[in-house]
Structure 1
Amino acid sequence: MIRLDLVTAERRSQFFTWEPFRKEETALVDLPVGGSLPWALLYPSSYKVGMSNLGLHYIFFGLKQNGIGAERVFLSPSSLSVDGERHLRDFAVITASVAYEVDVVALMRLLSREKIPLSWDERAKVGGPIVGIGGALTYINPLIFSGLADFVVLGDGEVALRAVVKAVREAMSCGRRDKLWADLSEHPSIYVPAVHNVLIEKGEELGKVRGYCSNLGDLLGHSLWLTSHATFGRTLLVELQRGCARRCPYCTIPACFGRDRKQPIEVVKGKIETLQHRFSFDQVGLVTPEASDYPHLDSLLDFLEELNCGVSFASLRLDTLTPKMVRALVAGGRRGLTVAPECGSDALRYSLGKPFSNETVIKTLRMAADEGVRSAKLYFMVGLPGERDEDVLQIADLARSIRDSARLKVVLAVNIFVPKPHTPWSKAPFWGQREGRRRLVLLKKALRGDSRGIGVREGGVKEAAVEYRLTWARLQDGISLTAKGQPFDGFLDTKETTRELSALGLSWKL
């Protein structure tokens, strides 16, 4: 799919124009025009997905505030820049926001297609663009970029943004990339492979830390643009919270993304009210790891109802879902609900840090149906630690019970469990493609004969294997990845990855 998208984007770039997309965009904040340094802000996925990512909005806003001539670049429908319709190779600086492991492959293929050397040392030799990396993946394992990046921002990008802009400007003015590396290597939340790789290999402790914004109220806090071409349409995205206080053993958010920090309710209300007076949007999307963890949610829902604003949630937890939350969704025209039971048996779910029963799942979804919901998308994982075949079969039983009791159309989104660095389950086994495929087949067989009203969307087992390899990349794996331009083969040493991440400073702490 990635390769096909890139080929399609290349062909379209010959005659494509972003003008209809730009006309459709509504900027919610006045931005400086122009700016120094041709700087590409790259999101290695589609425009539709990238424009639904608040991090992209925030960093573009920050670059423009700092006088940078930033332009957005996406994978599709064209890889020309949105704002100036330029090729990626025409930019002196490229910073990519990488959220998922699969995006690493897409990023490298796009750079290769643009004739941009993948490795930082090769780009230095030929005077190629400076390439920086940020995004969710850098919180978890920045070693993936050990051979690719001139620098990697660890954690919240806003923390290091001014330092990056300053260092890039000074290095560009004197034409010395080594000065850029040296200056940025001193920042506590920036990893510079050209400087730090050799120190990590020696086992030296670098003491790097992920940068975290402590006061969300001081940030932009909402979308920079509205567009009907985004995943959620003309939705005003509003950030309520970062980080998480829960301790789900499979999840990277509590281990890597910092303590829970919340945007003050009065600040949130003020921003929404001000924007509603000036602009028209379809609904307000509440962005948070878990909506019900925001302590002022009920007050906010009342406020949005008074403004006659529809609501959507980035994440909902089954055991804290209330009729009021469901009514807010339905009032905004949404008849589908997305939740994550994760597994089909109570005991296994409790081990995941989700202490609610199948009975609670069914009861909650029956309540949602009574409030007007007509379909439910349910996320599950297979290949979990301690999972038996009986646990997989119980997913089918639970799906039928929800269908029959709540009278909902049910879609099961089933993925292979991939253990992640820094999490309590980091040492859990990854069962691999053959066993993952067997468990998916087992589930589909269990649904045969009585699957009316139940659909299954399974995650690819090959994609899960690639994700596992990339998420556990060692420093040398990252260098090999850049050299080959594709996921590496050979032995995967998760203990070595853990040691190297610890040397960098990113050990697991809760």
Structure 2
Amino acid sequence: MKVVKEDNIVKKNIRRTDLKVALCYPNQYRIGMSCLALHYIYNLFNSYENVVCERFFLENTFSLESQLPLSKFDIIAFTLQFELDYINMFKILINSKIPVDRQKRNTSHPIIIAGGPCVMENPLPLSNFIDIFFIGEAEVLVPKFIERALSLKNIKRDFLDFSSITGLYLPEVGNKTKRVWVENIDDAFYPTIQVLTRMYDKSTKPIFSNSFLLEISRGCGRGCRFCISGYIYRPPRYRSIKKIEKIIDEAIENHKINKIILVGTSASDHPKFKEICELILSKGLFFSTPSLRIDVLDEDIISFLLKGSQKTITIAPESGSNFLRTLINKPIPNSLILNVAKLFQRNNVPSLKMYFMVGLPNESIKDIEAINAISSKILENFKGLLKLSVNPLIPKPYTPMQWVPYISRKEYLKKTKILKPLKSKKISISIGSWSMGCLEHILSLGTSELSELLSTNILASNLVNWQSLIGWLRLNIHDYSRMLTVNINENPLFNIIDNGISIDFLKAEYYKMTLALFTQPCPSTCSSCGVCN
């Protein structure tokens, strides 16, 4: 990796520390440095005087802080944000000559731990590779993990002792565990000092460069039936305006920044969202937020976003059909979408991005044509650039959609072909890969059998990319995907990991989906999902 210049890196005398942690983001530096989870974990581990945490990315085989090889650390910690990054995790270990299969590692090798949304979703496909999974939020688990690690005489020999900590899952033990989460995020640790990249080239420039990442909320109670984040991060929690201002003031003091990135599963649902926007602007800072709920947008919010220098406003209608949006528990009428488009035009918004899915239950050709229709109607009122991002629905565990089969290649290509004529000078359209979506579905719902299959073949293949690995496995990914959906009730995942969500609740939501019945959002109405007992 090319040398980058950074502010706020943590450098310690490694010889004087008791625990060395290698924090690995299994993708490019520019992507990893734009991930708030990486900053959280880096600062949380380094907040302990006798613990050192240094960073690795896909491009570097030596730590950025002290140029140590990965094998010299006691613990390798992967933060897994996307299933398709698993292959990069394998590459990082292989390039460092660390056995990928945990059964082939011994006390001379580091212990490998992993956390993140993919782990909370389903750790089983990686059970042959990871020693300890973190099922829950780092602010709760990391302190307990460090306390136990420092108390052990030989962490590599005695690591099975971690199985007694709620929220840690060890495949070697096969212990059942439960997701843990922060009840009040105001009281939780926050990385008010974040590493900023100051000197970079095109390959290393972070997506959010010269910006401070500010989480204002966590979890979402809307109950969109396809959204894994809306289930595994329940209940919705909001950081207070007082705490947010304190964090911003510390960020200004600790960084040379001019922009804040608002982070949250559904940031615009924050009850004080407008006040937060005004607060940031009053500090002389710009800001942006990745995506916004259509039903909260009004003149004030749009005005704040434009003053904050946001050029593209992103919304997610998910479908062109009113009926399908009701079915997925996102009952936003087309009339509201068109009214919002008029607001964008009235306020001279330069660019509008919209997310759509193909492969929803009961979806017809007419529903796909409805995407064309609403996009054309939007352009009657909106004169900026319209960007469409279209992807296959990927059913996830711990959602009502886990019983829905992944769309066939033939149907996906037929339906997305209908959308291609939309492309013009005023509309850009991006259509996601069917095969990568199918692979993500397999990795989301897979069991330990998939882990065994990968483990057996991963070194035999040349591991260039997922296509080469799947080709080596001679795996029909769609047939495998269908098998996982059919056998979801027998998936051992639900006997090992308790995410707090009641399976009976998910089945009831699936039934309500078939009838297109609406479930009120949490916390305004409790739907008895099980998380809050």
Q: Which TM-score applies when normalising by structure 1?
A: 0.87
SS in 1 for 2:105: helix
SS in 2 for 1:105: helix
What stretches of structure 1 move > 4 A for 4+ residues in a row?
A: 30-34
SS in 2 for 1:315: coil
Name the Cα RMSD after superposition. 2.2
SS in 2 for 1:319: helix
Counterpart residue number, 2:71? 89
Counterpart residue number, 1:428? 404
Q: Per the alignment, do residues 355 and 335 of structure 1 end up closer, same or farther by CA in structure 2, a change over 3 Å counting?
A: same
Q: CA deviation at 1:277?
A: 4.2
CA-to-aligned-CA distance 1:279-328 (integer Å, 9 cap, x gap):
33121111111122111112222222221221211331111112222222
Q: CA deviation at 1:378?
A: 1.0
Residues 376, 408 of structure 1: 8 Å contact kept: yes
Q: CA deviation at 1:111?
A: 1.3
> 2: distance between equivalents of 1:48 and 1:281?
17
Residues 39, 68 of structure 1: 8 Å contact kept: yes
Counterpart residue number, 1:465? 438
Q: Which of residues 154, 167, 183 in structure 2 aligns to 1:174?
A: 154
Letter in 2 for 1:140: E
Letter in 1 for 2:493: L
Counterpart residue number, 2:122? 141
Work out whether 1:368 is the aligned partner of 2:344. Answer: yes
Counterpart residue number, 1:349? 325
Residues 26, 227 of structure 1: 8 Å contact kept: no
Residues 54, 237 of structure 1: 8 Å contact kept: yes
> 1: distance between equivalents of 2:454 and 2:337?
42
Residues 334, 374 of structure 2: 8 Å contact kept: yes
Q: Which of residues 166, 170, 173 in structure 2 aligns to 1:195?
A: 173
Q: Per the alignment, do residues 32 and 329 of structure 1 end up closer, same or farther by CA in structure 2, a change over 3 Å counting?
A: farther
Letter in 1 for 2:237: R
Q: Which of residues 163, 177, 184 in structure 2 aligns to 1:215?
A: 184
Residues 352, 384 of structure 2: 8 Å contact kept: yes
> 2: distance between equivalents of 1:39 and 1:274?
26
SS in 1 for 2:315: strand
Q: Which of residues 5, 12, 21 in structure 2 aligns to 1:39?
A: 21
Q: CA deviation at 1:117?
A: 0.8
Letter in 1 for 2:33: M
Letter in 1 for 2:343: M
Residues 247, 353 of structure 1: 8 Å contact kept: yes
Residues 110, 156 of structure 2: 8 Å contact kept: no
CA-to-aligned-CA distance 1:143-178 (integer Å, 9 cap, x gap):
12210111000011221112322344455x43653x
Letter in 1 for 2:122: N
Q: CA deviation at 1:214?
A: 1.4
Work out whether 1:447 is the aligned partner of 2:438. Answer: no
Which shows bigger deviation, 140-149 or 349-358? 349-358
> 2: distance between equivalents of 1:82 and 1:497?
44
Counterpart residue number, 1:478? 451
Q: Which of residues 324, 327, 330 in structure 1 aligns to 2:306?
A: 330
Residues 144, 473 of structure 1: 8 Å contact kept: yes
SS in 2 for 1:95: strand
> 2: distance between equivalents of 1:400 and 1:325?
25
Counterpart residue number, 1:202? none
CA-to-aligned-CA distance 1:341-390 (integer Å, 9 cap, x gap):
11111111222222222221121122123223111111111011111011
SS in 2 for 1:111: helix
Residues 379, 414 of structure 1: 8 Å contact kept: yes
Q: CA deviation at 1:79?
A: 4.0
Q: Which of residues 494, 499, 508 in structure 2 aligns to 1:502?
A: 494
Q: Aligned residue pairs: how many?
A: 473
Q: CA deviation at 1:391?
A: 0.9
Q: Per the alignment, do residues 33 and 304 of structure 1 end up closer, same or farther by CA in structure 2, a change over 3 Å counting?
A: farther
CA-to-aligned-CA distance 1:400-457 (integer Å, 9 cap, x gap):
222231112111111011111110111011113332222222221x426xx3311111
Residues 359, 393 of structure 2: 8 Å contact kept: yes
SS in 2 for 1:24: strand
Letter in 1 for 2:312: G
> 1: distance between equivalents of 2:242 and 2:490?
42
CA-to-aligned-CA distance 1:464-499 (integer Å, 9 cap, x gap):
111011111112212322232245636433435753
Letter in 1 for 2:181: Y
Counterpart residue number, 1:71? 54
Letter in 2 for 1:504: I
Counterpart residue number, 1:493? 484
CA-to-aligned-CA distance 1:173-215 (integer Å, 9 cap, x gap):
43653x212x11111101101110xx7xxxxxx3x11110112
Work out whether 1:226 is the aligned partner of 2:196. Answer: yes
Structure 2 unaligned residues grouped into runs of 5+: 199-204, 459-468, 503-528
Structure 1 unaligned residues grouped into runs of 5+: 1-11, 200-205
Residues 43, 75 of structure 1: 8 Å contact kept: yes
Letter in 2 for 1:414: V
Counterpart residue number, 1:4? none
Residues 375, 408 of structure 1: 8 Å contact kept: yes
Work out whether 1:52 is the aligned partner of 2:34. Answer: yes
> 1: distance between equivalents of 2:230 and 2:186?
21
Residues 11, 66 of structure 2: 8 Å contact kept: no
Q: CA deviation at 1:463?
A: 0.5
Work out whether 1:389 is the aligned partner of 2:377. Answer: no
Q: Which of residues 227, 233, 241 in structure 2 aligns to 1:251?
A: 227
Letter in 1 for 2:452: I
Q: Per the alignment, do residues 211 and 33 of structure 1 end up closer, same or farther by CA in structure 2, a change over 3 Å counting?
A: farther
Q: CA deviation at 1:278?
A: 4.8
Residues 266, 292 of structure 2: 8 Å contact kept: yes
Q: Which of residues 429, 434, 439 in structure 2 aligns to 1:456?
A: 429
Work out whether 1:112 is the aligned partner of 2:112. Answer: no
Counterpart residue number, 2:508? none
> 2: distance between equivalents of 1:50 and 1:354?
31
Map 1:403-422 onto structure 2 (within 5 A).
403-422=379-398
